[in-house]
Amino acid sequence: MAAKRNATRREWTKQDLRDLKSLARERTPARSIGRKLRRSEGAVRQKAYAVGISLSLRGRTTKKRAK
């Protein structure tokens, strides 16, 4: 069996918060933000909610489907 990884908690630095805000403004998905910040998607969503940052992707333009 694979060894279980223990979660290591890290504080959110000022730089982490700056990056989170700028990536959210660019409408980057939470999963991608998590990868860039080396945090889980859930941690990113929780922190964004706690500091009042919207991760909503509504209004985002998507690729047009081929007819």
User: What was the pLDDT predicted at 21?
Assistant: 96
Question: Is residue 9 one of the residues assigned to a domain?
Answer: no
Question: Is residue 34 one of the residues assigned to a domain?
Answer: yes
Per-residue pLDDT of the chain (67 residues; tens, 9 = 90+): 777 878 788 999 999 999 999 999 999 999 999 999 999 999 999 999 999 999 998 765 556 666 6
Global pTM value = 0.75
Give the C-alpha separation, 56 to 29, whole Å.
Answer: 8
Question: Is residue 56 one of the residues assigned to a domain?
Answer: no
Our count of domains for the chain comes to 1
Question: Is residue 45 one of the residues assigned to a domain?
Answer: yes
The domain in which residue 47 lies consists of 21-51
User: What was the pLDDT predicted at 51?
Assistant: 96
Question: Is residue 44 one of the residues assigned to a domain?
Answer: yes
User: What was the pLDDT predicted at 61?
Assistant: 59
* Identity of the residue numbered 23: L
User: What was the pLDDT predicted at 8?
Assistant: 80
